[in-house]
Structure 1
Amino acid sequence: MEGTYKSGDLLIKEVIKTQIQEDAISFWNLGQAGILMKGSKDDGLICFDPYLTNSIEEEDSETEFKRAFPPVLSPEMLRDVNGILVTHDHGDHLDPATIKEIARVSNDTMFVVPAPIVSSLKKKIPNQSILPAIDNEAFFINGFKITPVPAAHTDYEVDSRGNYKMLGYFIEVNGIRLFHSGDTVVTESLIEKVKEFKPHVAFLPINGRDYFRNSRGVIGNMSFREAVDFSATVGVDLIIPIHFDLFSTNRENPAYFVDYLFHQYPNQKFHMMVPGERFIYHK
């Protein structure tokens, strides 16, 4: 992959060599909603929603979901990741091809998925550790404290046991609080939960939704305006927009996000990441 930022072996070597001090965290953008996080030496390495193959278009040549750029890593390069966290079972978030390959090369990785999809994942990786993620039930992966929070994509959905099918995650590590929203719209409940958590960093989708995408079965998310207003309402220090870059038919121009920030919240911190980019956040 050509460009300013690293990919492949160079990228994973950068991940390994990156050293994080107190009150800081490093994260890498893998495209779409994929985020790789690294804390201090003892905190380990976790990854959210890695879609690192072409499986969607390979399984359906007629699909509109065709990658605009190649994966910045191959799945086996995540063999040393301590945890893979999935927000929901759409193919660009839970990619069986990516998950199977990571499982093939690693016996130590913990796979975390919403409780309703644990049984289906076990059929794909039967010999791996799979943790059912349940709303407000915190757990640890090395030094990362992670608390699932319900996501509405575009409605809240639960199984027969009342467990949410779509989640975001609150992350606490090395003095930093982060929120990976997964795919979601804004709700009053989400505002209340995130405001109480007070994240330093929030990873939020900005591709929005509309009638025509809905009519094609493309489920929507926050718009760029909603992501910005949401962040200002809950008190996010740094906004990282996600879920706007990979599929040409389900995008939003990030320039609109920046323009809206400039006019409405000129003092709000944000960063637009490109695939393969590293960002180090200090509190």
Structure 2
Amino acid sequence: MAAIYKSGEELMNEVRKTKIYGESVSFWNLGQAGILLKGTEEDGLLCIDPYLSRSIEERDPKTEFKRAFPPVVAPGMLRDLDGVLVTHGHDDHLDLLSIKEIARGNDSMFAIPAPLISLVQEHVEKKYIHAAKNGESFTIKGFEITSIPAAHTEYETDSLGNHAFLGYFIEVNGIRLFHSGDTVVTPELIEKVKEFKPHVAFLPINGGDYFRTSRGIIGNMSFREAADFSAAVGVDLIVPIHYDMFPNNRENPAYFVDYLFHHYPNQKFHMMVPGERFIYHK
């Protein structure tokens, strides 16, 4: 499977030429949980969980985690990035090869869950690392960001009480976005996201089961839970993620669409392909 939309320099030219104005935001699907966000020129460019290499399978040729499609861009092409948000330490979210290449000759800010800072220190200058902590807000250019805890599948903290798995509330150009990272649904998550009232939510739909768990594959929301969760918290647009890259850890997105059709027929959603751009206007 190749990227159906743009890739490489063609995609990056599209990113640079995309102009965003009042109460709008553009985003590109990088595959798995990777999202590239752009507001106005003053807001800048933000990337979430870029897995833009084959480092998992190159490090372990026998792994069952093999990409179903090539990276839509090389990480070194993201030279215009103002910041990177990492949700947690799994290799398809915190890809050190991608981090290293993005950081090379770039002054991007990297927000990393506080317990994982040591993993990136040899690749990113200290002044460009932000230790993301539960409930704390920070800005990257025009993006206002708040970290919230994620349960993948439990809440995990270090000795200082800092969460190892995070999601992010993002506000830019009048739009509120929520990237959940890898998580299951919890009462605490429902409460926090309902209060935030996101216009757009990027949510995993691949779920989990006994046999994947027995092989060390940690679960997420199922397609049903992602739909029910979105209805419970009042999401305007759902963008499913984390179902497309690895054949061993997929879910058929048609099940998600069918469930919405039967239970929430007025719920807006969009299924993205790798390299695709979407412009959301409030």
Given the two structures, how large is their TM-score scaled by the length of structure 1? 0.98
Match in the other structure for 1:50: 50
In the alignment, structure 1 residue 5 sits paired with structure 2 residue 5: yes
**Alpha-carbon displacement from aligned partner over 1:183-225 (angstroms, at most 9, x marks no partner):** 0000000000000000000000000000000000000100000
1:212 and 2:219 matched = no
Do the aligned partners of residues 175 and 249 (structure 1) sit closer, same or farther apart at CA in structure 2, a change above 3 Å counting?
A: same
> Matches of 1:4 and 1:245 in 2, distance apart?
13
Note if 1:201 corresponds to 2:215.
no
Q: Distance in 2 between matches of 1:8 and 1:46?
A: 17
Which residue does the alignment assign to 2:75?
Answer: 75
Does the 8 Å CA contact 2:29/2:276 hold for their aligned counterparts? yes
Residues 35 and 49 of structure 2 are in contact (CA less than 8 Å); yes or no, is this contact kept in structure 1? yes
Q: Give the aligned partner of residue 166 of structure 2.
A: 167
Tell me the equivalent position of 1:227.
226
Q: Please show how residues 236-247 of structure 1 align to structure 2 within 5 Å.
A: 236-247=235-246
Residues 197-255 of structure 1: CA deviation (Å, up to 9, x unaligned): 00000000000000000000000100000000000000000000000000000000000
Equivalent position SS for 1:123? coil
Contact 1:114 1:133 in 2 (8 A): yes
Deviation beyond 3 Å, 4+ runs, structure 1: 1-4
**Distance in 2 (alpha carbons) for counterparts of 1:221 and 1:119:** 26
Contact 1:76-1:105 at 8 Å conserved across structures: no
Contact 1:51 1:93 in 2 (8 A): yes
> What is the CA–CA distance in structure 2 between the aligned matches of 1:41 and 1:220, rounded to whole Å?
37
Cα offset, 1:65, TM superposition: 0.4
Q: Tell me which residue corresponds to 1:142.
A: 141
Deviation at 1:75, TM superposition (A): 0.4
SS of the aligned residue for 1:100 comes to: helix
Q: How far apart, CA to CA, are the structure 2 residues paired with 1:149 and 1:183?
A: 12
In 1, Cα distance between equivalents of 2:108 and 2:253? 34
Structure 2 CA distance for aligned equivalents of residues 223 and 198 of structure 1: 21
Pair 1:267-2:279 in alignment: no
Q: 1:54 to 1:185 in 2, by over 3 A?
A: same
Aligned partner of 1:93 in structure 2 is 93
**Structure 2 CA distance for aligned equivalents of residues 223 and 168 of structure 1:** 17
1:126 to partner: Cα distance: 4.2
Give per-residue Cα distances to partners, 1:90-137, cap 9 Å, x unaligned.
Answer: 00000000001111131x100110000112211333456100001111
1:103, 1:128 within 8 Å by CA — same for their partners in 2? Answer: no
Q: Which region of structure 1 is more displaced relative to structure 2, 122-131 or 48-57?
A: 122-131
Aligned to 1:39: 39
Q: Distance in 2 between matches of 1:128 and 1:22?
A: 32
* Count of aligned pairs between the two proteins: 282
The answer to whether the Cα contact below 8 Å between 2:205 and 2:222 also exists between their aligned partners in 1 is: yes
For the aligned residues, what is the CA RMSD?
1.0
Partner of 1:276: 275
Aligned amino acid, residue 125 of structure 1: V
Distance in 1, Cα, partners of 2:80 & 2:40: 15
SS in structure 2 at match of 1:124: coil
Q: For residue 2 of structure 1, report the CA deviation from its aligned partner.
A: 4.6
The aligned residue for residue 184 of structure 1 is: 183
SS for the counterpart of 2:260 is helix
Alpha-carbon distance, 1:180 to partner: 0.2
Query: Is it true that 1:16 corresponds to 2:16 in the alignment?
Result: yes
CA distance in 2, matches of 1:60, 1:52: 17
- Which residue number in structure 1 is paired with residue 130 of structure 2? 131
